Amino acid sequence: PSNAEEISRRLAAIEHQLTENTSATVNIGGSGKTEIINKPTTNNTVIPPQRQPEKLPLLSWFAALIVSLLLLWWVSLAFRNTKFAALPPDYGQTPVKKGKVDYFPYEEGKDSQGRVAEFNIAVLSVEYKWQLGSTYQIKYNDQTITLDSLKSNLEQEGIQKIMENPSEIISVGTASCEGNITAEQSRALERSQQIQLLGKKIFSSTPSVKGYRLLNLGQFQRKDCQANQDSTAYQRSIIIIGVKKQAQGVILDEALRDRLEKKPFADFKLEDYSLGSPDKFKTIPSNL
């Protein structure tokens, strides 16, 4: 080129050719020499980033572990308490387990005039039963224990605290379905007397307790009864009833019967006992 302006123009033309074509033949310096200039290629292939495996946060793992443990605990508890899994529709108040005592909290009962008293019930578990035919020996699992041993066991279970400051203690006498009804009713009465003697020793230092009563329910008479069937209702159980919040002039027997009929505990039913009918149901104040 003869001057700078022409050189600049040719360089611009070369640049344009480089951007338009993959290759071009360029005349350099007017000398007749040519050179093939290849258009630079740009590889625009984009490699997607590799996805890293997601990592569950530690907190989520911990939460999942807790949920699993709770589920296992719930399942094991359900298996351990299968006896409550399919309760009959007429099943009464569910017990609160306190050691070896099935405790049924206070519920109201009303007499014929609508006057109220509250009653709770404590039943020693099926591990404790009156020895068949006995009024002074207790069957404890496979052992036979005396009433003094029973007193010690009840005190260890904290029966004074469990009963929640009653004003009166009612000792319940029952006998199982074996044997003559008259003999069994007499045996049930003797058992209630023995429980009352026991109760007086246990609750002698409980300031709230002002009186004691007996309740003889007689012989257990459910149709499907078996004398040696420990799972059968409370036919030979040790039963104590607490009384509190008695309205002025309340007829206690009527209020207690109302409580046991309308708000029974577990599968207990007055109709299952020979002395459970309205004309025979009565408590006996203690003369001891």
Measured over the CA atoms of residue 49, residue 55, residue 56 and residue 59, the dihedral's sign is negative
Looking at residues 41-49, what average pLDDT do you find?
Answer: 54
Residue where the block lists tokens 């997607």: 48
State whether 19 and 147 are in the same domain. no
State whether 178 and 254 are in the same domain. yes
* 45 falls within a domain: no
List the Cα angle 21/24/25 in 5-degree steps: 165
Element (H, E) at 261: helix 252-262
C-beta of residue 119 within 8 angstroms of C-beta of residue 242? yes
State whether 150 and 224 are in the same domain. yes
Looking at residues 163-173, what average pLDDT do you find?
Answer: 96
Q: Please give the Cα distance from 167 to 247 (Å, whole number).
A: 12
Higher pLDDT, 210 or 43: 210
pLDDT tens for each residue of 54-90: 555 677 777 787 888 888 777 666 555 444 445 667 7
To the nearest 10°, report the CA torsion of 17, 20, 25, 31: 0
pLDDT classification of 262: cutoffs 50, 70, 90? very high
State whether 113 and 238 are in the same domain. yes
Q: What is the pLDDT of residue 284?
A: 96
Query: The domain containing residue 177 runs over which residues?
Result: 90-285
Q: Please give the Cα distance from 133 to 135 (Å, whole number).
A: 7
* 269 falls within a domain: yes
Higher pLDDT, 167 or 5: 167
pLDDT tens for each residue of 173-223: 999 888 899 999 999 999 999 999 999 999 999 999 999 999 999 999 887
pLDDT classification of 231: cutoffs 50, 70, 90? very low
State yes or no: pLDDT of 236 exceeds 60: yes
State whether 206 and 108 are in the same domain. yes
DSSP-derived 3-state class of residue 284: strand
* 164 falls within a domain: yes
**Going along 39-79, which residue ranges are E strands?**
none
State yes or no: pLDDT of 18 exceeds 80: no
* 99 falls within a domain: yes
State whether 24 and 97 are in the same domain. no
DSSP-derived 3-state class of residue 93: strand
State yes or no: pLDDT of 20 exceeds 70: no
Higher pLDDT, 11 or 197: 197
* 56 falls within a domain: no
* 146 falls within a domain: yes
State whether 147 and 8 are in the same domain. no
State whether 158 and 258 are in the same domain. yes
* 47 falls within a domain: no
Q: Please give the Cα distance from 98 to 93 (Å, whole number).
A: 15
Give the up-direction half-sphere exposure of residue 63: CA atoms within 13 A in the CB hemisphere.
5
State whether 127 and 264 are in the same domain. yes
C-beta of residue 146 within 8 angstroms of C-beta of residue 138? yes
Q: Please give the Cα distance from 75 to 278 (Å, whole number).
A: 44
Q: How many C-beta neighbours within 10 Å does residue 162 have? A: 17
Q: What percent of the chain has a predicted confidence (pLDDT) above 70?
A: 74
State whether 26 and 100 are in the same domain. no
State whether 280 and 181 are in the same domain. yes
State whether 272 and 136 are in the same domain. yes
Looking at residues 232-249, what average pLDDT do you find?
Answer: 86
C-beta of residue 234 within 8 angstroms of C-beta of residue 268? yes
Q: Please give the Cα distance from 259 to 44 (Å, whole number).
A: 89
Count the domains in the chain. 2
* 194 falls within a domain: yes
State yes or no: pLDDT of 92 exceeds 90: no
Q: Please give the Cα distance from 173 to 237 (Å, whole number).
A: 9
pTM above 0.75, yes or no: no
State yes or no: pLDDT of 280 exceeds 70: yes
